[in-house]
Structure 1
Amino acid sequence: MTTLETPRLISRPWTEVDIEPFFALCSDPEVMRYFGGPQSREKVEATVRSCIELQARFGVWLQPLVLKETSAFVGMAGIAEVLFEEHFTPAVEIGWRLARKHWGHGYVTEIGKAFVDYAFRERNFGELVSFAVQDNERSIAVMKRLGFTHDPADDFDHKRVPDDLPHLKRHVLYRLKNPVEKSA
């Protein structure tokens, strides 16, 4: 299991103590605005169980993000295999979700850089992708700060978004190539 540290943050495997703060995060309508709205406790617990199982297989996944100084839960971030078929899959994505009180502190960019470095240096992935609802300006700004680039031809209608949420269907896709030449 992978733990990443930055000057202010630690991204580490899930534990039982993370369920309650993650449920609070997933209960916030503003945080969940681009994820279909607040989630039930059962859904949150199922997400955590799934992340634990997938992390065991992949070595890292979307995992808790805590402040180094206080161990306060900030949200989740990480890299993960894209688990649906689309024109850009198979692929590894970088993603995040932060509690609203932690927005605007540069935490996602900080841990995002650490995950990009880990993905390219430690795992030797050739490319990372990141995607978000087309109106999610905050996430798109982070993608740009991390150096990801956008080609509108890559944008897609997310197959896992229910038809009764048409405003969340259209997603923008950003890509970042590994700058290190892979040896043949």
Structure 2
Amino acid sequence: MTPILRMESARLVLRQWRDDDLDEFAAMSADPQVMRYFPAPLTRLESAALIGRIRGHFNEYGFGLWALERSDSGAFIGMTGLLHVSFDADFAPAVEIGWRLARRHWGLGFASEAAWTCLRCAFTQLRLDQVVSFTSQTNLPSQKVMQAIGMVQDPHGGFEHPRLPPGHPLRPHVLYRIDRAHWQQTQHG
């Protein structure tokens, strides 16, 4: 498959990662507020390693987590994209949609706008049947984005994230889904 290297929406560019994204990405990933629903903020080295894994996913599958920038200023604001679920779960194998934005870009609708662009890619270019998303039960902001893009919570899909230790407050997760037919209805609805 030819890699999908760039997509655009009304206000955003989803693009490949550049080496000069590391400073902004590392700052965002070190922000305790941005990372409050993750086990811990990331060090600069951990952020660089994550970019490496994202690039590897693109090399293997042709898609992944795109770097996200504003069209008007070119400012790096975070990442949004699609990736294969990398742990054993009842709903896997699956492709998930996810996002992480720098705090100063919250509340502007960028996460939903970028996620819509990724869903369009998932269902029209990649021809996926379904996309999932999951997060900690306490991460209401991400759940609102999931709902805004037409995803529906799976009432039987809650799970304990296997990469977090038993008893960890972020371990209980909710699962959301959207399939191609439902996405198409939202486009014409």
Instruction: Report if TM-score (shorter chain) is over 0.5.
Output: yes
Q: Distance in 2 between matches of 1:132 and 1:12?
A: 24
For 1:172, the equivalent position in structure 2 comes to: 174
**What is the total number of aligned residue pairs between the two structures?**
179
Task: Give the match's secondary structure for 1:50.
Answer: helix
**What are the superposed Cα offsets for residues 101-127 of structure 1, whole Å, 9 maximum, x if unpaired?**
000000011111111111001111000
- Give the TM-score normalised by the residue count of structure 2: 0.92
What is the aligned-residue identity percentage?
Answer: 38
Task: Give the match's secondary structure for 2:90.
Answer: coil
Question: 1:37: Cα distance to partner?
Answer: 2.1
Q: Of residues 148, 157, 161 in structure 2, which corresponds to 1:158?
A: 161
- Give the TM-score normalised by the residue count of structure 1: 0.94
Question: 1:94: Cα distance to partner?
Answer: 0.3
Task: Give the match's secondary structure for 1:152.
Answer: coil
**What are the superposed Cα offsets for residues 128-165 of structure 1, whole Å, 9 maximum, x if unpaired?**
000010010100000001111112210100001244x7
Q: Does 1:90 align with 2:99?
A: no
Q: Of residues 115, 123, 128 in structure 2, which corresponds to 1:125?
A: 128
Aligned residue identity for 1:47: L
Q: Does 1:81 align with 2:88?
A: no
Aligned residue identity for 1:15: R
Stretches (4+) displaced over 4 A: none
**Any residues of structure 2 matched to 1:35-54 within 5 Å, and which?**
35-54=38-57
Q: Distance in 2 between matches of 1:88 and 1:157?
A: 13
5+ unaligned residues in a row in structure 1: which ranges? none
Question: 1:47: Cα distance to partner?
Answer: 0.3
Q: Does 1:31 align with 2:34?
A: yes
Aligned residue identity for 1:112: A
